[in-house]
Amino acid sequence: MEKTTNSKTEEFSLDDLQEETNSQERELNDTEILSDKDIPNGFEGFGFSDELLKTIKEKGYKEPSPIQKAAFPELMLGRDLVGQAQTGTGKTAAFALPLLDRLKENERKPQVLVLTPTRELAMQVADSFRAYGAGHNHINILAIYGGADFRTQINALKRGVDIIVGTPGRVMDHMRQKTLNTIGLSCLVLDEADEMLRMGFIDDVEWILSQLPLERQLILFSATMPSEIRRLSKNYLNEPAEITIKSCAQEARLIKQNFISIKNSYKLEALKRVLEAKNDEGVIIFVRTKVITLVVAETLEAAGHEVAVLNGDVPQNQRERTVERLRKGSVDVLVATDVAARGLDVERIGLVINYDMPFDSEAYVHRIGRTGRAGRNGEAILFANPRERHFIGNLERAVGQKIEPMAIPSNSDINKGRLEKLHKRLINAAKNEHKDKEEISLLNELLKKTAEELQIDPEQVAIAAISLAVGPSPLLTQDDESWIKQVSNSSRRESRHEGRSLARRKNGRDIGQPEKNMERFRVAVGHRDRVKPGNLVGAIANETGLKGRMIGRIQIFESYSLIDLPKGMPEKIFKDLKRLKVMNRELQINRNS
């Protein structure tokens, strides 16, 4: 039975966030990266083609994760599947690899459709399909989502696409305009179904399902199984296989997690101070782009650190050598992108630094999972500029624990760290038995001779010897740290501002007046509906054709929200907006008097 809806919501980020996320390089690698040259391929035995097994081996993947082991046989048989899996369990590869291998060649029309709740996840999953399908040159993959040029997507669809990854609103738009042909569709994947429910997309998903061929494979992945998702599964899936994988959150609890609130211009200085103050043997610093890996590495090398780089330009054999150097201790700091370091397993990593904010929780879980391996404790530090602070809540929910604020290390903290490192070096040197008795005798004679010549105590000679070991640079730093106080004060002001804004929102007070040429409207969704600014921006932009930057201030209160829109909006669009649904509630938009 066909079910229609006026809901056209689309998940949009604001323009400044779009610019940042668009700069991210993403390649979703859900299995382990190895350093061994002879890789025993644990992916054999599932019926994968030689081309796919070759790609898996070339990328250095060793063993499938638990969800992959459970899903591969079922999906290769063409069965429907319900998977309950948290972020970081390898679910993308669990459905991507079997679907890639079962595609028909030269069809020139969509065979697989993957629905995701956000444009960022759509881009990730599409990039993941491209990475896994590197050996299948005939496969075309397209991501479609709101905010991107509609005509460009139409042209790509006309040229022929095998796999489409998209957000529900934009997929519906193409289906309604007949630019997306679903006649030959053999599989639909609902990725993060509970998130689509939370964002109000379930009506859209059901409409899409009602338009698809009756004979098709349906795969549903969800971190949780609320009643609405169970109903969806029961109504649309045919005797599905069911898989449940435990959460990664328990492992994350072994990792002490902190964040430093800091503007981008101070991040390099703060990074140097964090590394000076910490005593971990191995450190991984995650950054967003290849360019930033080089900038950070050069800065740290100049500061005296042993640094290596891993990014998408580093070939596999060199990557293996770099990982081995890190494992053996000839390199202490690795600066890497997500592309290069997913699944990297080195026991001596005690600290992970997120130099750039990961804008999805899966990336964060993968990143911090590089420390605290095999039940050991670890530490993770996140750098967040003021515009990124609100993302921390999403990351906390993903790992099931609080990410606590921390201060930029002061001179005192750094000096304490340096003394502790020197102390450890002295202890290790004293513990190591010197086997050359003659050399020990000569060294003792040298110490006595020096003390007698200068008429000083043996302790003074020992201090001179330590100074030689430390080198010409002073052991204790006296660098200017006035900027740290400025950063701290700025952060406190930001926090107070956020607190006042939150209080005003809770009290239901309108904040300020609309800008010139803007008009303020009231809509009937608010905090109680778990609405976010992106939900409202996406829905209104999709319905009116307005670009995100043309939508003004959004103020969300408990039971309603206020939105500033350009003056002179046509009455027809105004009526359409009244019936538009966001979070399963009609906007009921009215001018705010």
Q: Which amino acid is at 1?
A: M
Q: Which residues of 478-491 are buried (b: 16+ CB within 10 A; e: fewer)?
A: eeebeebeebeeeb
Q: In the sheet that 404-405 helps form, which strands lie side by side, from edge to edge?
A: 307-310, 333-336, 282-286, 349-354, 378-384, 255-261, 404-405
How does residue 574 score in pLDDT terms, banded at 50, 70 and 90?
confident
Q: If you ran DSSP here, which 8-state letter would residue 408 be given?
A: P
Which residue do the tokens 């906390």 mark? 396
Please give the backbone phi and psi of residue 114, each rounded to the nearest 5 degrees, phi first.
-115, 125
pLDDT tens-place string over residues 446-498:
988 888 888 888 888 888 888 887 777 777 877 777 788 777 776 666 555 55
Most confident of 5-9, 55-59, 313-317, 573-577: 55-59
Contacts of 542 (CB under 8 A, 6+ apart): 8, 9, 10, 146, 169, 173
Of 73 and 123, the structure prediction assigns the larger pLDDT to: 73
Instruction: Tell me the C-alpha distance between 148 and 146, whole Å.
Output: 6
Supply the pLDDT for residue 334. Answer: 94
Q: If you ran DSSP here, which 8-state letter would residue 113 be given?
A: E
SS3 per residue for 462-489? HHHHHHHHHCCCCCCCCCCCHHHHHHHH
The length of the chain is 593
Lookup: tokens for 392 = 């921390």
How does residue 441 score in pLDDT terms, banded at 50, 70 and 90?
confident
339 close to 26: Cβ distance less than 8 angstroms: yes
Supply the pLDDT for residue 16. Answer: 39
How does residue 355 score in pLDDT terms, banded at 50, 70 and 90?
very high
Pairing, β 590-591 against β 585-586: unpaired
* Mean pLDDT within 540-554: 76
Instruction: Tell me the C-alpha distance between 33 and 29, whole Å.
Output: 9
355 SS3 class: coil
pTM across the whole model: 0.49
**Among candidates 469, 585, 449, which has minimal Cα distance to 528?**
585
Torsion of the alpha carbons at 128, 132, 133 and 134, rounded to the nearest 10: 100
Q: Which domains does the chain have, with CATH numbers?
A: 15-247 (3.40.50.300), 250-410 (3.40.50.300), 413-470 (no CATH), 503-591 (3.30.70.330)
Distances (CA, A) of 283 to 79, 420, 478, 502, 556: 43, 17, 25, 37, 41
Q: Which amino acid is at 576?
A: D
pLDDT at 566 over 80: yes
pLDDT tens-place string over residues 12-46:
333 433 333 333 333 333 333 333 344 345 888 88
pLDDT tens-place string over residues 400-416:
788 999 999 888 888 88
Lowest mean pLDDT among 146-160, 171-185, 309-323: 309-323
Contacts of 276 (CB under 8 A, 6+ apart): 409, 414, 417, 418, 477
pLDDT tens-place string over residues 304-346:
899 999 887 887 678 778 888 988 888 999 999 876 555 567 8
H or E stretch including 76? helix 66-76
Supply the pLDDT for residue 342. Answer: 55
pLDDT at 180 over 90: yes
| β-strand partners of 554 | 563
26 close to 127: Cβ distance less than 8 angstroms: yes
* Mean pLDDT within 158-169: 93
pLDDT tens-place string over residues 124-145:
789 889 988 887 778 899 999 8
Lowest mean pLDDT among 151-155, 268-272, 372-376, 546-550: 372-376
pLDDT tens-place string over residues 56-85:
887 767 788 888 999 999 999 999 999 987
* Mean pLDDT within 146-153: 86
Of 398 and 250, the structure prediction assigns the larger pLDDT to: 398
Instruction: Tell me the C-alpha distance between 57 and 525, whole Å.
Output: 50
Supply the pLDDT for residue 343. Answer: 53
Supply the pLDDT for residue 340. Answer: 59
Residue 468: burial class (beta carbons within 10 Å; 0-12, 13-18, 19+) = exposed
Give the number of other CB atoms < 10 A from CB of residue 204: 23
Lookup: tokens for 242 = 């069911």
pLDDT at 526 over 90: no
pLDDT tens-place string over residues 256-272:
999 999 988 899 999 99
Supply the pLDDT for residue 580. Answer: 82
Our measurement of the distance from residue 465's CA atom to the centroid of its chain's CA atoms, rounded to an integer in Å, reads 48
Supply the pLDDT for residue 172. Answer: 93
293 close to 335: Cβ distance less than 8 angstroms: yes
Supply the pLDDT for residue 567. Answer: 83
Count CA atoms within 13 Å of residue 485 on its CB side: 4
Supply the pLDDT for residue 319. Answer: 79
* Mean pLDDT within 533-554: 78
